[in-house]
Structure 1
Amino acid sequence: MPSKHRALGLLRVLLVLLFAGLVVAQVAILPGTLAYLADEEPDLAYLQWPALVFSIVELLCVQVVIVCTWQLLGMVKADRIFSEGAFVWVNTIVWTMAAAWVLLFGAFVYVTVLVSGPGLPVLLFGVMLAGGVLVLLMVVMRALLRQATILRSDMDAVI
């Protein structure tokens, strides 16, 4: 049990650091970087604001997943993870990841039409595939949680 609590504590510390890093990226790094790129490439300057909005929304999706994960960790610590309350957070994770994937797919299509070289479209295609795998993995994990929750409630009824 103590190792589980240490792992939960360490994971929470890392989640806080990740969340803080994403806030810094949204507020300080992305706007400045995209403004610099717009100055360096005037032909693509019109993409500055769409790229900024896209990036901030994608990072916001990651932040929502972090908050939901934090809530699920609290349920693990309290030994309530196998309850119906966990599905609110898991469903939010699945739908948020699906929305982020749809946005990424839209960016992939847009960039593929806009860019002539294969580099960026291939990179986005790889990221899109990895994102799709993560979404489907979360769907499978939700189904496993559902089965474990049913089994736990059946065992509680027997005992």
Structure 2
Amino acid sequence: MLTEKLAVAALRVFLVVLFGILVVFQTLSLPGGIAYHTQQNPHDANLRWPLTAIAVFLVLCVEVVVVATWKLLTLVKKDRIFTTASLKWVDLIVWTIAAAWLVFVGMLLFVGFNADDPGMPMLLFLVTVGITVLGLLMVVMRALLRQATALRSDMEAVI
């Protein structure tokens, strides 16, 4: 029990740090970096706003997952993780990963058909496969959570 409490506390600290860093990236670093890149490379100027929108959206997806994870940790702390309340947060994570996956597939297709060098398409393919694995893992974890929730409610009915 003590290890679980320490892990939850440590994870919460790192989630706060991660969320703060993501907000800085979302509002300052990414838009500024993309603007700088388009100033240095005028032939990419037409990509400034689409790239900024995509970058901000993808960071927003990570922020949503961080908040949903925080909510799940709250349910763990209250010993309510095996309830239907946790399923909505896991669903939010799954749908957020799906949205990010769609954006990466779109970027992969766009870059893949327009690239002269295979490096960027390969990188986008790697990230897309990683997001696919993460999304499918969350679907499996959701099924396990649903089964555990059903078993717990059955056990409570017996007791």
| TM-score, structure 2 normalization | 0.97
Question: Where has structure 1 moved over 4 Å in runs of 4 or more?
Answer: none
The AA in structure 1 aligned to 2:18 is L
Aligned length: 159
**Which structure 2 segments of 5+ residues have no match?**
none
What is the deviation of 1:150? 0.8
Q: Give the equivalent residue in structure 1 for 2:82.
A: 82
The AA in structure 2 aligned to 1:23 is V
C-alpha deviations, 1:72-92, integer Å up to 9, x for none?
Answer: 000000000000111111111
Q: Give the equivalent residue in structure 1 for 2:100.
A: 100
The AA in structure 2 aligned to 1:49 is W
What is the deviation of 1:145? 0.3
Q: Give the equivalent residue in structure 1 for 2:144.
A: 144
Q: CA RMSD in A?
A: 0.8
Q: Give the equivalent residue in structure 1 for 2:46.
A: 46
- Tell me the distance in 2 between the aligned counterparts of 1:38 and 1:96: 29
- Tell me the distance in 2 between the aligned counterparts of 1:34 and 1:94: 29
- Tell me the distance in 1 between the aligned counterparts of 2:145 and 2:31: 39
The AA in structure 1 aligned to 2:53 is V
Which residues of 2 match residues 14-93 of structure 1 at below 5 A? 14-93=14-93
What is the deviation of 1:67? 0.5
C-alpha deviations, 1:40-81, integer Å up to 9, x for none?
Answer: 211112111111100000110110011010000000000000
Percent identity, aligned pairs only? 52
What is the deviation of 1:99? 0.7
SS for the counterpart of 1:60 is helix
C-alpha deviations, 1:79-125, integer Å up to 9, x for none?
Answer: 00000111111111101110110111111111112221101001000
**Which structure 1 segments of 5+ residues have no match?**
none
- Tell me the distance in 1 between the aligned counterparts of 2:46 and 2:112: 17
- Tell me the distance in 2 between the aligned counterparts of 1:157 and 1:68: 29
